[in-house]
C-alpha cells in the first residue's frame, strides 16, 4: 500500500508542474548554463526571462528585473492598453483616423510611403505590431494617452514598463526619455495579451492574430509548425524580443533584451541562440515524459 501511495504522490508531483524529477532538474540546469554561455560570449549586456506556462514557474533568468531600453517591444504595452480601452468603450477600433503630414515619422513601417491613408485605429494597430510602423504607433499612442498606458501597467504590477516618448522623437531621446521595461515585465505583458487576461475573448483573439504575424529571431529559432506570438524591437546598440512559443503541451513565454551592443547583429544572434536553446528544453519536456524517452509524434 505504501508503494502504491508513493507512486501516486510522485505522479501527482510530476503532473502538477510544481516540481521536477531529478532528470528534468538536471536538464534545466544545463539550459541555464547554455544561456549563461551565450551571455558571456556577447559583447554587450543581455537580460532573460523564461516561464513555463504549464506550471507558471520561472525556468531561466538573467537581469530579469532590470530595466532595459525596449525599442519596439514597448508596443506590447500600447497594444494591451488599446484593446483594453476598446473593451471599456473609450475608443472605437473601426473609426477612421485622419492623418496629417506633420504626424508622419521615419524609421520602420510603410505609412510614411503612402499618400496619407485614412485608416482605422484597428488598421494602425495592425501596422504597429506586424510591421512595427512608427507613424501608426504614434497614432495609437495619441488615441490611448501615454499616461493611461503607464497607469495601466503600474496597476498590473508592471510599473517598470514606462512609455516616455513617441516613436522617432529625437528631442526626447536627447533628454534621456527612453522607453524602458524589464525582461520579466515584457514577458508578463506578452502573457497577458496571449491569455487575454483582463480582455474580452474578441480583443484577445485580435491581439493574438496580430502578434502571430510578426517575424523575428524567436520565430526563426523554432520549427515553422510551432505557433509564435511575438514582438521585436531594434535600436542602435539595442535588440529585444518577447514572445509566447506554443509548444504543444508545454508552451512557454520568453523575453530577451540586449543593450550596449558593439555589433547589433550579435544581439540578434544571441536572441536566436537563446530562443533555440529554450525551445529545445521545452520540446524535450513535452515529448520525453518523466524519464526522457521521446514519444512518437
* CATH 3.40.710.10 is right for the domain spanning 20-288: yes
* Residue pair 253/50 in contact by the 8 Å Cβ criterion: yes
pLDDT over 90 at 67, yes or no: yes
pLDDT over 50 at 17, yes or no: no
Residue 15, pLDDT score: 40
Angstrom CA distances, 202 to 192, 193, 197, 231, 267, stand at 14, 12, 12, 20, 35
pLDDT over 50 at 14, yes or no: no
Sign of dihedral through CA atoms 64, 281, 196, 259?
Answer: positive
With CA atoms as reference, report the closest residue to 166 among 136, 193, 187, 211. Answer: 136
For the chain, which residues make up each domain, given as ranges?
20-288
pLDDT digits (tens, 9 = 90+) for 242-251: 999 999 999 9
pLDDT digits (tens, 9 = 90+) for 263-284: 999 999 999 999 999 999 999 9
Q: What percent of the chain has pLDDT over 90?
A: 78
With CA atoms as reference, report the closest residue to 255 among 279, 222, 231. Answer: 231
pLDDT digits (tens, 9 = 90+) for 117-128: 789 999 999 999
Residue 295, pLDDT score: 73
pLDDT over 70 at 1, yes or no: no
Top mean-pLDDT range of 94-98, 163-167, 274-278 = 274-278
* Residue pair 23/29 in contact by the 8 Å Cβ criterion: no
pLDDT over 50 at 6, yes or no: no
75-88 and 146-155 helices cross at what angle (nearest 10)?
90
pLDDT over 80 at 129, yes or no: yes
Amino acid at each position: 500500500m505504501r508503494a502504491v501511495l508513493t507512486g501516486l504522490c510522485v505522479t501527482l508531483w510530476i503532473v502538477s508542474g510544481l516540481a521536477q524529477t531529478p532528470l528534468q532538474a538536471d536538464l534545466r540546469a544545463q539550459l541555464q548554463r547554455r544561456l549563461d554561455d551565450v551571455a558571456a560570449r556577447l559583447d554587450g549586456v543581455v537580460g532573460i526571462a523564461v516561464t513555463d506556462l504549464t506550471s507558471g514557474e520561472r525556468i531561466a533568468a538573467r537581469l530579469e528585473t532590470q530595466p532595459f531600453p525596449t525599442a519596439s517591444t514597448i508596443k506590447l504595452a500600447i497594444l494591451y492598453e488599446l484593446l483594453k480601452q476598446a473593451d471599456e468603450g473609450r475608443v472605437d477600433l473601426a473609426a477612421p483616423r485622419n492623418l496629417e503630414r506633420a504626424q508622419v515619422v521615419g524609421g520602420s513601417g510603410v505609412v510614411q510611403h503612402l499618400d496619407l491613408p485614412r485608416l482605422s485605429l484597428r488598421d494602425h494597430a495592425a501596422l504597429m505590431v506586424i510591421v512595427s510602423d512608427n507613424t501608426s504607433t504614434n497614432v495609437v499612442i495619441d488615441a490611448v494617452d501615454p499616461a493611461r498606458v503607464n497607469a495601466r501597467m503600474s496597476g498590473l504590477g508592471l510599473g517598470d514598463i514606462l512609455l516616455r516618448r513617441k516613436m522617432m522623437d529625437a528631442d526626447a531621446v536627447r533628454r534621456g526619455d527612453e522607453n524602458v521595461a524589464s525582461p520579466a515585465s515584457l514577458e508578463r505583458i506578452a502573457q497577458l495579451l496571449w491569455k487575454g487576461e483582463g480582455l474580452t475573448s474578441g480583443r484577445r483573439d485580435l491581439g493574438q492574430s496580430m502578434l502571430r504575424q510578426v517575424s523575428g529571431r524567436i520565430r526563426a529559432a523554432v520549427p515553422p509548425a510551432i505557433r509564435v506570438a511575438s514582438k521585436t524591437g531594434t535600436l542602435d546598440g539595442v535588440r529585444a524580443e518577447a514572445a509566447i512559443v506554443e509548444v504543444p503541451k508545454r508552451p512557454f513565454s520568453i523575453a530577451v533584451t540586449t543593450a550596449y551592443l558593439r555589433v547589433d547583429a550579435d544581439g540578434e544572434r544571441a536572441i536566436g541562440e537563446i530562443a533555440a536553446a529554450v525551445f529545445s528544453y521545452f520540446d524535450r519536456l513535452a515529448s520525453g515524459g518523466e524519464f526522457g524517452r521521446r514519444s512518437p509524434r
